[in-house]
Chain A
Amino acid sequence: MGERRERVRLEGIVKRFGAGETEVRALDGVTLAVMAGEVVGLRGPSGSGKSTLLNIIACITPPDGGRLSLGDGPVWEGGHYLERDLRALRRTRIGFIFQFHNLLPFLDATDNVALAMTLAGRDLASARDKARSLLDFLGVGKRAGAMPARLSGGEAQRVAIARALANDPPIILADEPTAPLDSERARSVMDLLRRVAVERQAAVLVVTHDEKIFDRFDRMVALRDGRIDAAAGGRA
């Protein structure tokens, strides 16, 4: 097996909210790398900076210092983004899995997945074909025509994973993806993410408090007060 490629790299990332006496350093020099095929868990108490870190990697929130690289090169460096179209970057390089699946309620499972592909320029017919095969791959092929309101929590989360994988992104970010699921389904979702990481050589970063799935990660990164908490098992 050859050397694995680095998909995400954060170097000395700083993020401050507020100013003066009310200033809070949400992230204080975080350095972290996630490799292709790796599934990394991100944990920490509330307010430790997990969501901020995820938002910075997703290019939703700009950092105040440091350097962010996604795949081939830096996207944020020297106080500004190096990419002009951040949404295009998200469309093609990042897949999102949300805590509450966030499927569009007016599209069926197939079209929720196909939408991500049509936004990236794929024609609708082939997007639907690929969406169906992704739903089959994730074990919800029989629910392809169901509206989100008719899907169970586990099914909806699998559809959301299919949507995240639709454009074959090298990076998958998940925010508490197992929170609404029972233990069995939570492990099942994590096994799926692992399979995706391995088969598609994607870097998977998962924010979670769910201790019952900690054993499903290649490694856990712990955050405390905006810093990686080595004592709690965190490592960059």
Chain B
Amino acid sequence: MNLALRDIRHGLGRFLVTCVGIGLLLSVALAMVGIYQGVVAEALALTRSLGAELWVVEAGTRGPFAESSRIPGDVRAMVARVPGVAEAGAITLRTAEMAAPGRIIRAQLLGYEPGRPGGPSNIVAGRGLGGARFEMVADQRAGLAVGATVLLGGDRYRVVGLTRGLVASGGDPLVFLHLRDSQDLQFKLSPPAARRAAAAGVGAGNTDTVNAVIARLHRGADADAAAETVRRWKHLSALTDAEQSELLTRSVVARARVQLGMFTVVLLFVTAVIIALTIYTMTMDKLREIATLKLIGAPDSTIIGLVLQQALLLGFVGFGAGLALIFAVRDRFPRSVALGPEEIAVMAAVVAAICILGSTASIRAALRIDPQAALGG
């Protein structure tokens, strides 16, 4: 006879309301864990999508994400000839605001040469960039549809394709442009500024500048050796993909990770305290029943089973409710809520641990209940 289940069935409404309360609390904890993982996933989303094995940047910098980096556009051809390099592509990166009908969209613009590394790995709607200029491929997070037009740097761009899950480390959606367009946006002087520069005798400047060159290597090629070769050019620096990924997670989003991590720990602590108090209240509500059980000879294992099973059921039903809620609303979050099977399994284990530890005080209190409490009025 399972007393825990029978007691729950008897007060099912109250138990479910309690589970919903715990579920709401756990949904916040799950959201924090998801956002924490999302920050890391978003930081690495672009590098993973690009599939670059070598990042060539300006000497003395760790660009283009951690620091500003500017190198001549012809570096791409030099890098393409480095032993072990299969193909190379020049890219530019810049944060900009685009004017869409009725709103301003903040985005990270990535310029690349179609046909060379630097473009999105997966298009979920429309097509990739072709030869034509003033086209863009935007991430769905920008909220643009295929065929939409936006105003950028005084020119009108048409959205020809959409990607999913490609955002910058700050959460801004990525927008892919033709390299020529992005170079103009980033380096070309406006006509009045160009006229002033010409009058000063410094010229309008060369716009064939990029922020980085990325390279894919032949199968079996040594990325460290290729990076070492590139570093021999004094004006360049090189990072392997592993170094770039570590830079992104350890430096670029480090503060955000620590902040979110700390908040998650605090939230889990609060969750543990609330679950423990809820279990304690549930147990103390059954004081007379527990005293009666003791008086009629129920062993401690029966009392412990009653409290522990209810604590675990409360935790897991609440966890299920919280999980369902967060999956229902996570797309509405402005940043990615990355909850995979691993995070869910870890959180389930954490909830189980909280329930077991949280019920220890209740179990101790239940075992201390005097059977005499069942006697008299």
Q: Does B201 contact A (CB under 8 A)?
A: no
Give the docked Cα–Cα distance between A59 and B1 (Å).
26
Interface residues of B in 324-377 (CB under 8 A from A): 370-372, 374-377
Q: Does B219 contact A (CB under 8 A)?
A: no
Give the docked Cα–Cα distance between A102 and B373 (Å).
11
Quick one: which of A51, A87, A111, A179 contacts B375, CB cutoff 8 A? A51
Contact B375 A99 (CB under 8 A): yes
Measured CB to CB, the closest approach of chain B to A132, in angstroms, equals 15
A98-B375 contact, Cβ under 8 Å, with A58-B295, A87-B294, A104-B289? yes
CB-defined interface of A98-132 with B at 8 Å, one 1/0 digit per residue?
11101011110001001110111000100000000
A115-B377 contact, Cβ under 8 Å, with A60-B372, A102-B292? no
Q: Does A92 contact B (CB under 8 A)?
A: yes
List the A residue with the shortest CB-CB distance to B6. Answer: A106
Q: Looking at the complex, which of B46-54, B185-193, B297-305 is the stretch in contact with chain A?
A: B297-305
Given pairs A55-B372, A100-B377, A119-B299, 15 additional interface contacts (CB within 8 A): A58-B295, A60-B295, A60-B370, A87-B297, A98-B374, A99-B376, A102-B288, A104-B3, A104-B289, A104-B292, A106-B6, A106-B7, A106-B289, A107-B3, A175-B376
Q: Which A residues are in CB contact (< 8 Å) with B293?
A: 104
Give the docked Cα–Cα distance between A147 and B6 (Å).
12
Contact A96 B296 (CB under 8 A): yes
Quick one: which of B10, B11, B288, B297 contacts A91, CB cutoff 8 A? B297
Give the 10 A-B CB pairs with smallest separation, nearest first: A91-B297, A106-B10, A90-B297, A106-B7, A102-B292, A87-B297, A106-B6, A60-B371, A119-B298, A175-B375
Contact A96 B295 (CB under 8 A): yes
List the B residue with the shortest CB-CB distance to A61. Answer: B372
Contact A105 B296 (CB under 8 A): no
Q: Which A residues are in CB contact (< 8 Å) with B376?
A: 51, 99, 175-176
Q: Does B116 contact A (CB under 8 A)?
A: no
CB-defined interface of A143-180 with B at 8 Å, one 1/0 digit per residue?
00001000000000000000100000000000110010
CB-defined interface of B293-327 with A at 8 Å, one 1/0 digit per residue?
11111110010000000000000000000000000
Q: Which A residues are in CB contact (< 8 Å) with B294?
A: 87
Interface residues of B in 5-45 (CB under 8 A from A): 6-7, 9-11
Q: Does A24 contact B (CB under 8 A)?
A: no
Give the docked Cα–Cα distance between A90 and B299 (Å).
11
- The main secondary structure of chain B at its interface with chain A is helix
Q: Which B residues are in CB contact (< 8 Å) with A61?
A: 372
Q: Which A residues are in CB contact (< 8 Å) with B296?
A: 90-91, 96, 115-116, 119, 163
Measured CB to CB, the closest approach of chain B to A80, in angstroms, equals 19
Q: Which B residues are in CB contact (< 8 Å) with A114?
A: 1
Please classify how large the interface on chain A is, using the bins under 10, 10 to 19, 20 to 34, 35 or more. Answer: 20 to 34
A interface residues with partner B (beta carbon < 8 Å): 51, 54-55, 58, 60-61, 87-92, 96, 98-100, 102, 104-107, 111, 114-116, 118-120, 124, 147, 163, 175-176, 179
A111-B372 contact, Cβ under 8 Å, with A87-B294, A120-B297? no
Interface residues of B in 150-208 (CB under 8 A from A): none
List the A residue with the shortest CB-CB distance to B288. Answer: A102
Q: Which B residues are in CB contact (< 8 Å) with A58?
A: 295, 371
Contact B297 A55 (CB under 8 A): no
Give the docked Cα–Cα distance between A149 and B302 (Å).
24
Give the docked Cα–Cα distance between A87 and B300 (Å).
9
20 contacts between A and B (CB under 8 A): A58-B295, A60-B295, A60-B370, A87-B297, A90-B297, A91-B296, A96-B295, A99-B375, A99-B376, A104-B292, A105-B10, A106-B9, A107-B1, A111-B1, A115-B1, A115-B3, A116-B296, A119-B299, A163-B296, A176-B376
List the B residue with the shortest CB-CB distance to A147. Answer: B10
Give the docked Cα–Cα distance between A46 and B268 (Å).
51
Quick one: which of B7, B9, B292, B298 contacts A98, CB cutoff 8 A? B292
Measured CB to CB, the closest approach of chain A to B263, in angstroms, equals 40
Measured CB to CB, the closest approach of chain B to A178, in angstroms, equals 13
List the B residue with the shortest CB-CB distance to A94. Answer: B297
List the B residue with the shortest CB-CB distance to A128. Answer: B1
Contact A87 B299 (CB under 8 A): yes
Give the docked Cα–Cα distance between A124 and B2 (Å).
11
Measured CB to CB, the closest approach of chain A to B288, in angstroms, equals 7
Q: Which B residues are in CB contact (< 8 Å) with A100?
A: 377
Q: Which B residues are in CB contact (< 8 Å) with A90?
A: 295-297
Measured CB to CB, the closest approach of chain B to A214, in angstroms, equals 21
Measured CB to CB, the closest approach of chain B to A53, in angstroms, equals 12
Measured CB to CB, the closest approach of chain B to A87, in angstroms, equals 5
Q: Which A residues are in CB contact (< 8 Å) with B371?
A: 58, 60
Contact B6 A107 (CB under 8 A): yes
Q: Which A residues are in CB contact (< 8 Å) with B372?
A: 55, 60-61
Measured CB to CB, the closest approach of chain B to A90, in angstroms, equals 4
Q: Which A residues are in CB contact (< 8 Å) with B370?
A: 60
List the A residue with the shortest CB-CB distance to B4. Answer: A106
Measured CB to CB, the closest approach of chain A to B43, in angstroms, equals 52
List the A residue with the shortest CB-CB distance to B290. Answer: A104
Give the docked Cα–Cα distance between A104 and B289 (Å).
6
Give the docked Cα–Cα distance between A61 and B374 (Å).
14
Measured CB to CB, the closest approach of chain B to A8, in angstroms, equals 17
Measured CB to CB, the closest approach of chain B to A48, in angstroms, equals 14
